[in-house]
Chain A
Amino acid sequence: MTASRTRRPLVRRLLAGCAIATVFALAAPGVAAAASADGPAVATGTAGALPAQPPGTDPPPGNDPPPATDPPPGNDPPPATDPPTGNDPPGTNPPGSTPAPNPTQPRPGFPGFTRPPASPDPAQIAREQAEAAKHAEQVARELAEQAKHAEQAAREQAEAIQRAQELAAAQAEQAAAVQEARASWDSRGRPAKLAIVRADRVEVITEGRLVRNVPRTPGAVTFGALDRYLPDDWITVDGDTAFVDAMVVLSTGTNLQIDEDTKTIQLAGGPEPGDAASIFTGGGRLTLTGVTITSADRETKAPLPDTAAGRPFVEVSAGGRLNATDSGFSDLGSPAVGAGEGNAGLRFNTGSTGSLVRTTVQRNTIGLVLSASTDVRLEEVTVSESTGDGLVLSGDRGTTMDRVRAEGNGGNGVLVTGENSDRPITGFSTSGNGVYGLAVVGQTGARVTGIVTEGDKAGGLRLSRVTDVVVTDFTATEQPIGVFTHVNSSGVLIEGLSTTGGRRGLVVEKSTHGLELRASTIADARVAGVAIGGKEVRLTDVQVADSRAGVRVERGAGDVQLTKLTVEGGRDGIVASAGTTGVVVTDLVANNVGYDAVRSASPGAQIVGGTINGGATGIDVAAAATIVGTTIAGSNEGIHSRSPELVHADKVQVDATDVGVNALPGSPFRLSNSSVHALEALRGVIEQQGVNDFSLPPLNILGAIGVPLILLALVLEQVHAFRQRRFGGTRRRHLPPIPVGGG
């Protein structure tokens, strides 16, 4: 880019120098005048024989500078040294001019003139003097005339030089424009047809050759006007649908406006990249109102499949702007081919800006990409059914999003990646996307707020390689994983997470260090509410309801603190596997968990405080553990130990229906200062310390009813006997004797 910019003045100077030299060589004002003739308003010709630039035009805009590539073959620059036809050879005088006196030939009366001797005759002398004077006067007149001619010749020569200079400059500009057009053509994938809308003209380029240069009035360009600038078959309008068969590039200072008169714009495409009739804003502005831009096959006019390498797209280039309202972008973008990355359906590039309002982006390869864009506003935008990701935020700044939806995209609904940005990740919802609703990759200090996701195939939120990320008020409904953190993520704070359904609410993968989940609710997880495999994980004020397991601490996890965790229903409350360390459960509340409120095989686990109501087993330990101040009520079995190492329960209160504390053979158990009430308070070998209180469970009401029932039966029988005696019913008849010989 820099090389091309430095080359342009140099070329100009070279061309101007050549022109001056030619003029000086010609030294003929008539020739110069012929060479400076203005071209027609519309000139045609091949590259290298371009028409003259209209006078007064600015040099080509520098927004699309030609790349530092070689000149295109067969597109030679205009020959700046061609002599104008009909010019006289150098040194000739202009026709009709008086020949100048020969300075080397002596003239009378002038120094060096020798006169022969004569007799003195005064009259003669007077006559001669008069003639001499007359001759001298004539000579003087001739000399003055010669001087006048010389002056005129000099003036005409200067004018010729000026005209030659101007011609050279114009030709240089033409050459530069050709080169620029060529470069633009190259950089846009060498489309078969390319229209470059410039501030004052429209360049028509076919197969890389600038074939037409149409001047236009500066100002906004409407779609109808653009149609008139271009060849007839480049834009075909049928009703409110326009079929565009050429790539359109806007340049700085241009503004292409498409309003509701054209409801649908079909951009032509095909199997090859050069077939794509894409739109580049360049440094210009594209304004859409009530317009849907889509792709179309040249033959069938049907939208192109996402496999077509020549499917068109819309790109907002650096310095450009796109404002779309009530519009749509569908079936756009090309897939990656070979080493190429492919093209998103709609892309805001570095430094670009604009807005999308009430706009849909549908069935693109990648729906919408904001790549280092600035201050883009997305409002009520729906990005759906993209082949890949729906919305990609990559190093964009100042982006504002409001009621954006990413639905049914093949990849992530929203992908946040690339350079870190301080824009908040908020204002959108996702559903039914092929991977995650939102994926945040490689970000530091990102803020995710108020996102609602539902039914995405892989999960709601993926945090990968993130640092110091804060997620607040994130909602995941029927997601396989509500939130997934992995690949060395650290310093993650999640607050106000709400997940419903799905397999797991939160998964902290083993490479995650430092995650805190606060004030969150997880319900109906089919596998686990929270699955912890990482280290330094904190759960505070988290509620898990009706999940198969409330919290699973997986092998390899370490330094896990669960504080004020509430588990309602479900199969198991907390399950800590073997191979975990530093598990501390504080103030757990587990209500009506089906099987085990706490099942721990984690060595050295600590269970402090908390209340467990109902369930089959309150606490089931398979490794050394310390239980302090926990209340277990209504479980079939209070504490069940199968640990080969000592389990110590201190100040626990157990009211179980079957067994209070059950220590299997080989499981040392120490009970101190506790209260255990159950049908069978203690089972197994249990070491007791301090003051313990053991008893049967309170007689329940049914038991209390049972005793009166028995008493009632006794009373009824007494009444019955009394009545039988009164009516003679108690008199027993005796069996008649067997008759003698009866057998």
Chain B
Amino acid sequence: MTLPLYYYVLGTPLGVLGLIRWGFWLVRRIPAVLYRPVVNNHRLSMSVVVPTYQEDPEVFATAIESWLANGVEQVILVIDESDTVCQEIARRYPVEVVITDVPGKRDALRKGWRASRTELVALVDSDTIWAPDVAAEVCKPFADPRIGGVGTRQSVYGSKGFLARITDMFLDHRYFDENASQSLLGKAVSCLSGRTAVYRRALLLEIEDDFMHETFWGVQCLSGDDKRLTTLILERGHLTYMQRTAEVWSTFPDTWKIFFRQRLRWARNTWRSDLRALSRKWVWRHPFLAFTMIDKGISSFTLLLGPIFMTISLINQNWIFAGVLALWWQISRSAKLLPHLRRRPSSFFFIPGYVFVSWIMALIKLQALLTIRKQRWLTRQVAVENGQVVRTASAADGAAPADLPPAGPRGPVAPVHGAPVPDRRVPAHAGSARGVPAGSRPPGRGGPQRGMPGPGSAGGPGPDDTIPIVRVSA
């Protein structure tokens, strides 16, 4: 044993880094293990607000029925005026429809909660399908009056492809690790996902101005509505909680292009929100939340050291080191993903892919940091130009500014084609309608699927060259 002491103590630099990362993971994992969902019989009235735009009819119908099956008091669909297919589907169910011509999800959400008449408002994406007891489960944490918002557990709906599997792993890692630990330590979940997030309506009305006029470095923010709502709730001293027994399913991209764009948009939102939060006092009242924000930022850089070491070892033909490193990644990531592997053991074979996508996401995070001021939805024809939310379209779209109507008036409900009308409700059991012709469906699930980015543009995501079509404002 003549090796120097440091070899025995620290090993390689990568080993030191790994030790640190494991330490951070344990800090999150131990409280996550101790997390438990809230169990009680607390129940409040709830409405579901759904911004809708070119949703897959099959998914949309399934989602509507799932919401109605939860027995919520209101289902409010804020549908873009151009989306006749979704309007047609909505017409079959006992839901309230708000037609809007204002691009942007934030305005649609505001229209929705203004139209709501319940204590709780569930902001839901149009492709999110609820389990039958979601409404009951999400009400339980609200027994604590300090709770201002509650999130759910998400799973991937529909796809069985590679990206779906990887996304499923990331989602489980999020809800069994990060969100669980944040819920236990301080009840301050950093982001209640926009797929389904339940807030007290009174709080939404209180924060809607800040929500609608969010800017970052002088530029109005377009995406990141869910992160913004969560932050505003926390900033005002309320708490957020993840109720993991409330399970929802949602669609996710199954093409790399959409995946990259979606992740880039999310990464920008996260950088913007976390950097701003860390510069404010309120976040330091939730130390664990601040810790997770910092940890997430640092990991964007440290995650890339692994592939660098691997590349060097491969160049030097140090096969044994490379093999050991790969083996260690397989084992260690599996250990960290045990909650997911317990549910889907076959994901063990997707671990290398998971590691690879992690590197890709680290690169995306770095790119997002370098382009943090850009405001593009990327998967929708909407963007912020000159400080305002506008629709964007490629030249091939053929949409002309003059073809679109002017912005509608502001108000609790601002339909262009009429206020929410009870007569447009259809019974929940009337879900058997199949009247939507296949040809009228929007592009597949890999295209624009969720949210309410803006009406008027057909087809999938366009190129970056944007054409301001009409000025609309919230």
Contacts and interface: CB of A to CB of B under 8 A. Distances in A.
Interface of A: 613-614, 631, 633-634, 653, 655, 657-659, 679-680, 697-698, 700-703, 705-706, 709-710, 712-714, 716-717, 719-721, 723-724, 726-729, 731-743
B36 A700 contact: no
A590 to B, nearest CB: 13
Interface of B: 1-4, 7-12, 15-16, 18-19, 22, 26, 29-30, 32-37, 39, 56-62, 65-66, 69, 129-133, 157, 176, 244-245, 247, 249, 318, 320-321, 324, 328, 331-332, 335-336, 338-339, 342-343, 431-436, 438, 441
Given A655-B2, A658-B318, A712 B66 contact: no
Given A728-B39, A741-B432, A741-B434, 14 more contacts: A613-B2, A633-B4, A700-B10, A701-B10, A702-B11, A702-B18, A717-B342, A720-B33, A723-B36, A729-B244, A736-B69, A742-B57, A743-B434, A743-B436
A653 B129 CA distance: 66
A631 B247 contact: no
A733 B3 contact: no
Contacts of B10: 700-702
B8 A738 contact: no
Contact of B19 (A698, A705, A729, A737): A705
B4 A614 contact: yes
Contact of B11 (A700, A719, A736, A741): A700
Contacts of B131: 733-736
> What are the 9 closest A-B residue pairs judged by CB atoms, nearest first?
A741-B434, A742-B61, A733-B131, A713-B335, A633-B2, A743-B58, A702-B11, A717-B338, A739-B431
A714 B65 contact: no
A659 B318 CA distance: 9
Nearest to B137: A733
B58 A733 contact: no
15 contacts: A680-B318, A700-B15, A702-B12, A705-B19, A706-B18, A714-B335, A723-B33, A723-B34, A728-B37, A732-B343, A736-B131, A739-B431, A741-B432, A742-B59, A742-B62
A716 B33 contact: yes
Contacts of B343: 732
A457 to B, nearest CB: 41
A727 B36 contact: yes
A680 B69 contact: no
B310 to A, nearest CB: 15
B434 A701 contact: no
Contacts of A634: 2-4, 7
Nearest to A733: B131
A732 B315 CA distance: 46
A417 B4 CA distance: 52
Contacts of A721: 342
Contact of A740 (B1, B247, B342, B431): B431
A743 B132 contact: no
Contacts of B133: 733
A321 to B, nearest CB: 66
A88 to B, nearest CB: 121
Nearest to A722: B33
A739 B432 contact: yes
Given A701-B8, A733-B132, A736-B132, A719 B434 contact: no
A736 B176 CA distance: 23
Contacts of A738: 58, 61-62
Q: Which of A634, A740, A742, A743 has the most CB of B within 10 A?
A: A742
Which of A634, A701, A705, A733: most chain B Cβ within 10 A? Answer: A733
A741 B438 CA distance: 11
A397 B57 CA distance: 113
B33 A719 contact: yes
B332 A709 contact: yes
Contacts of B338: 713-714, 716-717
A634 B3 CA distance: 5
Nearest to B61: A742
A582 B183 CA distance: 74
A701 B9 contact: yes
B95 to A, nearest CB: 14
A593 to B, nearest CB: 13
B282 to A, nearest CB: 30
A743 B2 contact: no
Given A728-B39, A736-B66, A741 B431 contact: yes
B58 A709 contact: no
Contacts of A732: 247, 343
Contact of B335 (A658, A679, A710): A710
A731 B432 CA distance: 29
A742 B16 CA distance: 54
A713 B340 CA distance: 13
Contacts of B18: 702, 706
Contact of B39 (A633, A706, A727): A727
B19 to A, nearest CB: 6
B134 to A, nearest CB: 8
A703 B10 CA distance: 9
B36 A703 contact: no
Contacts of A713: 29, 335-336, 338
Contacts of A703: 11, 15
B320 to A, nearest CB: 5
Contacts of B58: 738, 742-743
With a 10 A CB-CB cut-off, give which of B157, B247, B438 has the most chain A CB atoms.
Answer: B247
Contacts of A680: 318, 320
A572 to B, nearest CB: 19
Contacts of B321: 658, 679
B177 to A, nearest CB: 10
A702 to B, nearest CB: 4
Contacts of B3: 633-634, 655, 657, 697-698
A728 B431 contact: no
B417 to A, nearest CB: 24
B332 A739 contact: no
A613 B2 CA distance: 9
A742 B328 contact: no
A392 B203 CA distance: 95
Nearest to B341: A717
Contacts of A658: 318, 320-321
A253 B115 CA distance: 127
Nearest to B36: A727
Given A679-B320, A716-B30, A729-B36, A739 B61 contact: yes
A702 B328 CA distance: 12
A723 B131 CA distance: 22
A337 B370 CA distance: 71
Contact of B37 (A631, A698, A729, A735): A729
Contacts of B8: 698, 700-701
A19 B176 CA distance: 138
Nearest to B66: A736
Contact of B26 (A706, A712, A717, A720): A712
B331 A710 contact: yes
Nearest to B245: A729
Choose among A653, A701, A703 the residue with the greatest number of B CB atoms under 10 Å from its CB: A701
Nearest to B331: A710
Which of B11, B56, B435 has the largest number of chain A CB atoms within 10 A?
A: B11
A697 B130 CA distance: 54
